[in-house]
Structure 1
């Protein structure tokens, strides 16, 4: 394997720091918007779906951690699939990531809109994308300090919602009783809730900066996921007990609605501000991540090579950032947030399926990758039909593009 060029990074991160970074990557705006479509699918089985989504995320994260130790390079499963399974599967993983996370960007932008100004959610979403794309273009990136601030704000808002609803709201235990739910509905909801755990694999990419990564990363992954699951479970329990599954499924701003129904309408703007801050932070990170994956794929010829350009002064992949920003802005203007979540979940589940398949080729420790692979495919196929159809069509377009590209290279 070719060693990465350049100086080595310092191993400064212990378990606590690694867990903190993992929490910063996971606890974000997804929980503010993913509950309604999941409740529509699972009904009162929402909490079961949440547990399934967390378990699948755990399997995926552990597989990714092993691969990241072997291939400490940018690109994630794009690199893992290419190195372990072949160029075709690497392209499939990279394409699935780019299109899935592009949809995630649109969902996060619309989340800002729904919590800031619901009547003009699309306009606010487009404005958010334009502003953050401009920031990224000039090289302004989210710092570690800003990440901690955003996580602190989001956690504070989530805690506020849980305390208000469970402490002072009109909650009913009967709304938490699992009844009249289907297995397919629970699995479909788990696939949608998988969206709220996006970012957990960030832990696995820290191999070059973690002290004793072989022990620290496998220890940090379940701790970070466990904390995230507890936080999400408390929030889901509170909103489900306050609103009921039918009411929860019909709102676009569930946490704000739960606080309003609990009799604290004056705090709705606080919840909205917290959701908007979390969504803006997640949107910035997603825009940066998608543009840089697009850069890597363009360098390898899997996307137009023009996107591989780096700005001579700002040292950013400016063409990739502009292309991603334009596409996300267009999506945010025309799609609904639930459709974006379903499509994103489908594509990202395929991405992690390839990561798990790659981990299976490493030899020992095949149980979790096997479970992760099967679970990713199962959850992807049980998502809402519109998400499966649209996701399959877009993935096939990417595969067709790869075939045309290979044919041209062979003739050239």
Structure 2
């Protein structure tokens, strides 16, 4: 590769640990803790904090494996696609990238559609399509301007969401202190209705709230000292959200120990009115809308970088590896994801959200297995600690994520399987009937990144 072409196909390192963490927090979205709280409370029979603790353990295992792989393959972006391809073969690596595209590529659509649905409910005279466009255009423009600009915007968006959550927690504790709600400090974790089946069912759903932290590995080529920064950022983000989700669930069940809501899908607004009245409920609604915008901003950024990597490798059209001349951002992928969001005009939230988790859980399983394969082939360290870190924890992560994958509803598994079959067909075309491997990752390590 010539210096000129190399210059046009590398990204600029501008992100520090705090910038990567903020993008990760925006990606997962703090207010998802309130957006889904009613569902988790109902499924867990009123023990939502315990369900989130179970999920936290599963996500920590997976974040650990991602961190191990990020520290080994730190020269290039690519996430699960890179790790599985390097450790388990390029064909399986391609299919992993293809599977996770189902997640990355369509999550922005779902995020924008949810935000538009909230706005349409408040302003029914304005068509849904207007709100979808209102979400897509500014996020696309911000991401074209550059990841550093997007990170600065996310500081403000995340700060507002956290402020809403802090106020909600304070009002909830004050309400609990001043009213006899029938709850105790420990009853949200364990009560007479607690069953293992209810907890695991709720934990499987609660795991969806964490999805997105893995996308931080897609920022490797734009991060200072990625070998240390990316693993640390992933664990920080997962731990942060674990504490946040458990805390929000705990205070929610202190003021509402039961499982009955007028509308479980909008339980956050019911809880907000209970502890702070209509004015605070309006603030929570505003926070949810802002959270959707921040989430879409971060996810579109990460997804475009996966397209960039796969396009640069030639496993997808090379047009996707084209960068904006001045900003050095993957403009083709950013615009393509924005255009895909317009499909939301013809879908509802339930349909669009039903299949995106198939790819994520599949990738989580394979990344955990790749960590074990790396240890088996290279033995980077020895002793009991190495066995635990490179084998035991990843194996636990693979088992838990496989369970979550099999817990998806039949429609999600069917759509995911069809997407996988389409990927196998494309791989056959790309490799001329599997007679040659797909293009391999080109590892770039120049100072101009």
Normalised by the size of structure 1, how large is the TM-score? 0.83
Q: Distance in 1 between matches of 2:306 and 2:216?
A: 17
Residues 1:131 and 2:138 aligned together = yes
Change (3 A) 1:86 1:230: same
Task: Describe how 1:187-226 pairs up with structure 2 within 5 A.
Answer: 187-201=200-214, 209-210=224-225, 213=228, 222=235, 224-226=237-239
Change (3 A) 1:90 1:157: same
For 2:107, the equivalent position in structure 1 comes to: 104
For 1:278, the equivalent position in structure 2 comes to: 291
SS in 1 for 2:98: helix
Q: Distance in 1 between matches of 2:13 and 2:335?
A: 32
Q: Distance in 1 between matches of 2:319 and 2:19?
A: 38
Task: Describe how 1:20-35 pairs up with structure 2 within 5 A.
Answer: 23=25, 26-35=28-37
Change (3 A) 1:288 1:312: same
Q: Distance in 1 between matches of 2:331 and 2:141?
A: 10
CA contact (8 A) 2:183 2:253 kept: no
Match of 1:344 among 340, 350, 356: 356
For 1:238, the equivalent position in structure 2 comes to: 251
Residues 1:287 and 2:300 aligned together = yes
Larger deviation, residues 327-336 vs 56-65: 327-336
The structure that has the greater radius of gyration is: 2
For 2:273, the equivalent position in structure 1 comes to: 260
For 2:311, the equivalent position in structure 1 comes to: 298
Measure how far apart 1:224 and its partner are: 4.5
Deviation by residue 1:307-364 (Cα, 9 ceiling, x = unmatched):
333344554333322222222221364131x554453333211111111111111224
Larger deviation, residues 299-308 vs 114-123: 114-123
Q: Distance in 2 between matches of 1:274 and 1:319?
A: 30
Larger deviation, residues 350-359 vs 257-266: 257-266
Q: Distance in 2 between matches of 1:221 and 1:250?
A: 34
Measure how far apart 1:210 and its partner are: 4.7
For 2:174, the equivalent position in structure 1 comes to: 167
For 2:447, the equivalent position in structure 1 comes to: none
Task: Describe how 1:7-406 pairs up with structure 2 within 5 A.
Answer: 23=25, 26-39=28-41, 41-72=43-74, 73-118=76-121, 120=124, 122-123=128-129, 124-137=131-144, 139=146, 142-168=149-175, 171-173=181-183, 176=188, 178=191, 180=193, 183-201=196-214, 209-210=224-225, 213=228, 222=235, 224-242=237-255, 246-247=259-260, 250-262=263-275, 264-312=277-325, 315-331=328-344, 333-336=346-349, 338-363=350-375, 364=386, 365-406=390-431
How many residue pairs match? The answer is 403
Q: Distance in 1 between matches of 2:256 and 2:345?
A: 28
Q: Distance in 2 between matches of 1:109 and 1:379?
A: 25
CA contact (8 A) 2:311 2:317 kept: yes
Larger deviation, residues 292-301 vs 20-29: 20-29
Q: Distance in 1 between matches of 2:290 and 2:159?
A: 11
Measure how far apart 1:366 and its partner are: 0.8
Pairwise CA RMSD:
3.6
CA contact (8 A) 2:65 2:367 kept: yes
Q: Distance in 1 between matches of 2:328 and 2:21?
A: 30
Measure how far apart 1:200 and its partner are: 3.0
Q: Distance in 2 between matches of 1:11 and 1:315?
A: 12
Deviation by residue 1:72-96 (Cα, 9 ceiling, x = unmatched):
1101111111111111221122122
Q: Distance in 2 between matches of 1:29 and 1:329?
A: 24
